[in-house]
Amino acid sequence: MNWKKNFKNVFVAIGISFLLIIALFPFYWLAFSSVKVLTDLFEPNVIFPWETTLTLFNYEFAVTKAYPSLISLFLNSLYISILSVVLTLTIATFGAYAVARMKFRGKALITNSILLIYTFPGIIMIIPLFVLASKLGFAGNMTGLAIAYLAQTVPVALYMMAGYFQTIPAEIEEAALIDGCSRFEVIRKITLPLSLPTIASISLFIFMIVWNEYLFARTFLLTLSSDQFTLAIGLARKTAHLADFGAYLASAMILLTPVIILYLLAEKYMVKGLTAGAVKG
Amino acid sequence: MATIRFEKVVKDFGAPEPAVKDFSMEIPDQEFLVVVGPSGCGKSTILRMLAGLETPTNGNILIDDQIVNFLSPKQRDIAMVFQSYALYPHKNVRDNLSFPLMVSKVPKEEIRSRVLETAEIMGISELLDRKPKELSGGQRQRVALGRAIIRKPRVFLMDEPLSNLDAKLRVKMRAELKKLQRRLKITTLYVTHDQVEAMTMGDRIVIVDNGVLQQVGSPHDIFYNPVNKFVAGFIGSPPMNFNNVKLVEQQGKIWLSFFAMKLPVPERLEKAILSVKDEGLIMGIRPQSLIFEPTELPTDYIIPAEITVAQPRGTEVDTEFKIGEAYFMAVFPPEQDYEPGMQFKVGFDPKSIYLFHKETGKTLY
């Protein structure tokens, strides 16, 4: 029995390592290359860090020379992403609470439409959204972009959140009502604190969607000057006519870093949040 | 300090039958009232309407002569203990207890002293820093009760608060709850499906079936004077024996006949019988009123029988026997061996024979 189990474990470990190497190698190559000296950049035999001289020159060069607006692009992306997360969470919380807890006419229709919108690819929505946004006068600025993202992010967030709310026993909320809370206080003091794991994972998820998004950003920010772009479109645009690979790799690392940091911070919630809906609370 | 009144309360969830129909009753101040009935009978709905978690479709609910139909739970000054305890999982015991006080903005100092006092009463002083998931069922129960009493509410509502506890603890908590209620003198509405709980705890009991109030009364009253067959069968363990009987006239007397056996109609029921025409009757007798080899009963009430199953319970033996094809459950004293197949004489205590209309189920008096 025991040797069988060990045997199995060995196989599992080999399988996982294999997948990990495939998944992580490009990232390793990117991270490693971004700190290589320029001369080793195209040297295929330099695979390990100790075979070259490590330097932060690429980063310095990227920020100061190659992409002088990198910092402001970074801040733009951060602003749009955070704004999107906050707006999405605010709207999705109330929507999800209504879907999960309230009884109202047309609830099934609304719930199903949310799921339906969730299945629309962004490309279907972009033109009507852009037309709508221009008519309302918020196309062509970052806040407008963050609002446009809601069309993509709210359905996902609402759906995930409603699923989680449903796992919270209604009796706990009723107890709070009887203890003297209003419905709004119940949400604030009981439901939301209990939903922190899900909120963390949804936030990260939304942040990642918005941070890496290209199509909407490209369309909505088209008319602005290049230092008002998001990081993703800004980098892509520059790279099209700039062949400084060292700086490009360093910038890509900068693009990746916030997502990685956030993931590490939220990881333990992430696992909880993604599994919470599946298991009975 | 509160009296509660239900006036023709109806709750209709849109199902073919309303969950609660024309429910009227009054609960005097400081009473411990138990609402009991089978699951799905509407008893929890009654409680939830009083709590303000459901709104009555029709009729009025009054607390201290004020109509509360549309008041939020917050405005009613009630506390409730749920079957699942419904503790706040993200707060420790101290914060669970103080939550109702925090919400109503009681000063910090007072909250602290009341938490300590309540924890002392409930015997949970050691547990104040623990989270609910680190507590046993019994401890959670105490915290839930503590959270209810800390506010000194006008009314206590309890929705099957003991049904998640193991049997031993349940018996202990029954007594404790009753003592606590006596001490705090708060009007209490207690919902349960367990008739033993109802009998042991209630000052009065309300029996509900199918959303309709069947009977209100003291445990003694309900046990000895059930108004219908449902109440008679619901209260008492093991349940009352029921048999279809026909009225037969012989030797100038009226008899209850079943399976070629007959018993004389007890004297106290002779008048009531006169109103009964052809429709059949149901005879009811409690297992405790069937006597093994009786010595003091009139001989007409003694019938030969045969034991089919015996289940000793220590102080008594639940024994099933048959008379002809009619099966009865009886509670016999333990001094005797009751072997299946054993022939014996069973006595029907005429004082404890009940008769019910077959159609309406109403008790004949």
Owning domain of residue B256: 241-357
Specify whether B222 is located in the same domain as B117: yes
Pair (B245, B266) in one structural domain: yes
What distance in Å separates the CA atoms of residue B279 and residue B359, rounded to the nearest whole number? 8
B208 plus B307 within the same structural domain:
no
B27 burial class (0-12, 13-18, 19+ CB within 10 angstroms)?
Answer: buried
| Domain termination residue (choose one: B234, B265, B297) | B234
Residue B164's identity, in one-letter code, is: N
> Does residue B164 share a domain with residue B102?
yes
B282 and B348 assigned to the same domain: yes
B157 plus B225 within the same structural domain: yes
Side chain identity at A116, as an amino acid letter?
L
Print burial letters for B167-196: b (CB count within 10 Å at least 16), e (below 16).
eebbeebbebbbebbeeeebbbbbbbbbbe
- Residues B230 and B250 occupy one common structural domain: no
Closest CB from A178, A182, A190 relative to B88: A190
All residues of chain A having their beta carbon less than 8 Å from the beta carbon of residue B87 are: 172, 175
**Which pLDDT tens digit goes with each residue over A172-187?**
999 999 999 998 999 9
Residues of B in contact with A191 (CB under 8 A): none
Give CA–CA dist B170/B164, Å, rounded: 9
Give the domain-ending residue among B176, B208, B234: B234
Asked if residue B24 belongs to a domain, the reply is yes
Top-level class of domain A65-276: mainly alpha
Query: Is residue B10 located within the same domain as residue B147?
Result: yes
Instruction: Encode chain B (365 residues) as per-residue pLDDT tens digits.
Output: 689 999 999 999 888 889 999 999 999 999 999 999 998 899 999 999 999 999 999 999 999 989 999 999 988 999 999 988 899 988 999 999 999 999 989 999 999 999 999 998 888 899 999 988 888 888 898 899 999 999 889 999 999 988 888 888 888 888 888 998 998 899 999 999 988 899 999 999 999 999 999 999 999 999 999 999 999 999 988 999 999 888 888 887 888 888 878 888 888 888 888 777 666 889 999 999 999 988 888 888 899 999 999 999 889 999 999 998 889 999 999 888 888 999 999 999 988 999 998 888 889 87
Are B220 and B251 part of one and the same domain?
Answer: no
Mean of pLDDT values over A209-225: 85
Pairing mode, strands B78-81 and B66-67: unpaired
Instruction: Give the amino acid at B303.
Output: I
Q: Which of B219, B234, B249 is the last residue of a domain?
A: B234
pLDDT digits (tens, 9 = 90+) for B157-181: 999 988 888 888 888 888 888 998 9
Environment class of B284 (CB within 10 Å of its CB; exposed 0-12, middle 13-18, buried 19+):
buried
Domain ranges of chain A: 2-55, 65-276
Total domains, chain B: 2
Looking at the structure, tell me whether residues B202 and B252 fall in a common domain.
no
The CATH code of the domain that includes B259 is 2.40.50.140
What residue of B is the nearest CA neighbor of A179? B100
Euclidean distance between CA atoms A239 and A241, whole angstroms:
5
Residue B322 lies in a domain: yes
| Residues 6+ away with beta carbon under 8 Å from B264 | B253, B254, B255, B256, B298, B300, B301, B350
Examine the domain organization and report whether B219 and B263 are in the same domain: no
Q: Which of B195, B124, B119 is nearest to B160 (CA)?
A: B195
Would the CB atoms of A178 and B79 count as touching at under 8 Å?
yes
Tell me if B350 is assigned to some domain.
yes
Q: What's the pLDDT tens digit per position in B15-43? A: 888 999 999 999 999 999 999 999 889 99
Residue type, A235: L
A 10 A CB-CB count for A188 gives: 13
B333-356 as b/e: b if 16+ CB within 10 A:
eeeeebeeeeeeebbbbbebbbbb
Strand partners, A54: A36
User: In which band, very low, low, confident or very high, does the pLDDT at A276 lie, cut at 50, 70 and 90?
Assistant: very low
Q: Is B365 a domain residue?
A: no
Residue B119 in domain? yes
pLDDT for res B289: 92
B156: closest CA of chain A, how far (Å): 11
Which CATH number fits the domain that encloses residue B107? 3.40.50.300
Is position B341 within any domain? yes
Same domain (yes/no): B59, B43: yes
Residues of A in contact with B88 (CB under 8 A): 172, 175-176, 190
HSE value, Cβ hemisphere, 13 Å, CA-based, for B265: 26
* pLDDT digit string, tens, across residues A17-69: 999 999 999 988 888 888 888 777 777 787 788 887 888 888 888 888 777 78
Does any domain span residue B79? yes
